[in-house]
Amino acid sequence: MNSTPPPANSQLQALASDLARKQSLVVITGAGISAESGISTFRGIDGYWARFNPQELASPEGFARDPELVWRWYDERRRQILTAQPNPGHRAIAELEKHFPEFLLITQNVDGLHAQASSKKLIEIHGSIWRVRCMRSGQEWENREVYEQFPVKCRCGALLRPAVLWFGESYQPSLISRAQKAVNSAEAVLVIGTSGQVWIVSGLLAQARQNALTAEFNLEQTETSHSVNYLILGPSGQTLPQLLSELTQLSP
């Protein structure tokens, strides 16, 4: 990560002075921001789990076939995430929230690090690894327990499952409409640590381009980079605090 040169300050300054005049901001984040906290991406897991197809581990069919295997996988993810901390990029986003009367953070990450960094106006569009859902009642609640027995069961005797979006499952319509509404009325949209290959991101970004200022923060160019107003290359743990400090100088 050290090989990426810091972005030109002038570009961040220009973006900050554009943002200083805006009243509403939407931030969309993906795996890239969590990678800087040491959380491996779904496909970046090695060792024992590398032999499994992600769709076997994260799908309703996979869970029906072998709930114990799926729970052991999620248990490993939970243990990895438990030791991770929000990085300066997460914290800068939580601070950005205070600069805009209208703000929404839409994250694809299920690790809970944005909430841990004190982001409040937040949609976890793929759910959270720290929530569980009873397979019988459909009820969900937060649970940070380190489990000892797998598969994990509810007090009612039914299986519990992680309350995350699996392959082949639909987004919650209420979350999607809240995200779309925010993007429709936003004056600026920042996309951070995600390639826009995910349907939801490319859709929201296409919507944003119609009337909002758009900026992408990534380590490298992606296929959406050509279509945004600002492309800020570099670790978001560095570029976002820089943006925040520029913005704070303009509108403290």
Establish whether 90 is a catalytic residue. no
Q: Is 113 exposed, middle or buried (0-12, 13-18, 19+ CB in 10 A)?
A: buried
Q: How big is the CA angle at 231 (ends 94 and 177), to the nearest 5 degrees? A: 55
Residue 150 or 171: the one with the smaller Cβ distance to Zn ion is 150
154 sits near Zn ion (criterion: CB under 5 A)? yes
Determine the Cα–Cα distance for residues 217 and 10; give it in Å rounded to an integer: 15
Report the candidate in 25, 13, 15, 27 with the shortest Cα–Cα distance to residue 187.
25
156 sits near Zn ion (criterion: CB under 5 A)? yes
The interface region with Zn ion, picked from 7-15, 144-152, 154-162, 181-189 by CB under 5 A, is: 154-162
Task: Give the H or E element holding residue 177.
Answer: helix 173-185
Q: Smallest distance, Å, CB 58 to Zn ion?
A: 21
Q: Smallest distance, Å, CB 140 to Zn ion?
A: 11
158 sits near Zn ion (criterion: CB under 5 A)? yes
Q: Smallest distance, Å, CB 136 to Zn ion?
A: 5
Determine the Cα–Cα distance for residues 179 and 26; give it in Å rounded to an integer: 9
134 sits near Zn ion (criterion: CB under 5 A)? yes
Size of the site for Zn ion (CB under 5 A): 6
Residue 65 or 136: the one with the smaller Cβ distance to Zn ion is 136
The interface region with Zn ion, picked from 21-29, 118-126, 152-160, 208-216 by CB under 5 A, is: 152-160
Q: What is the largest CA-CA distance in the chain?
A: 59
3-state secondary structure of 40: coil
Residues that bind Zn ion (CB under 5 A): 134, 136-137, 154, 156, 158
| Residues designated as active site | 126
